Amino acid sequence: MARAFLLSLHQLGDPAILRVLAQSLAITLGIFVLLGGAAWWLIDAALAGVTWHGTLAGVAATVLTVLGGWLLFRAVAMLVVGLFADTIVAAVERRHYPAALASARPVSVARGVRMGVASAARFVAANLLAAPVYVALLVTGIGTAAAFFVVNGWLLGRDLGEMVAARHLPAAAMRDWRAATADRRFALGLAATGLFVVPLVNILAPVLGAAMATHLFHGARR
């Protein structure tokens, strides 16, 4: 895992990866700006009869956008990166695994969108279902954080791993691959979840996660 992380970190300067990083950040920020604007419009309309309703709506929309960004950044970032994941994986394979790149089947934009939407939906659904457990474990001090890491480590390990496996395995082989690589994908997911909770580093987390998944996938096959 450490090797995969260091190799991925070292390749952040790759022009293809820098383009993906810039595009994904721009789209992610754009989504939150649109959500913030929609929140302001709805709140402003609801408070139309209140003095300073525009100012109040602006403050409330800002708070909601910041809170939503903190809670949903991972889901939105993975959804957006799903559009460009194939570019990240191909860049890593081009530098480190040229033989694998030659036999890869590029993931279509439509399939990338489906995978990104599925990732975001699983994140929201799983964390909503786990919310009562998170709340109940607050009294333990670290229980909530541990549960969050377990849930999201499992989710991210699956999502990141499939970004790579989809290029090299037929759909019929994916179930056996998931079963055979559950431990490695969970470890990857825990590492990526750790990146997502560190301020500023979380901006790089989806790209680093996809690159790390590529190294782990091909390292295991070797």
Confidence at 62, pLDDT banded by 50, 70, 90: confident
Q: How far apart are CA 207 and CA 80, in angstroms?
A: 11
Confidence at 69, pLDDT banded by 50, 70, 90: low
**pLDDT (tens digit per residue) in 164-211:** 998 898 878 888 888 888 899 999 999 998 888 887 888 888 899 999
pLDDT at 104: 87
Number of domains in the chain: 1
What is the SS3 assignment for 5-56? Answer: HHHHHHHHHCHHHHHHHHHHHHHHHHHHHHHHHHHHHHHHHHCCCCCCHHHH
Q: Averaged over 64-85, what is the pLDDT?
A: 76
- Residue 68's identity, in one-letter code, is G
Please state, for a pLDDT cut of 70, what percent of the chain lies above it: 96
Domain span at 132? 2-221
Q: How far apart are CA 126 and CA 197, in angstroms?
A: 17
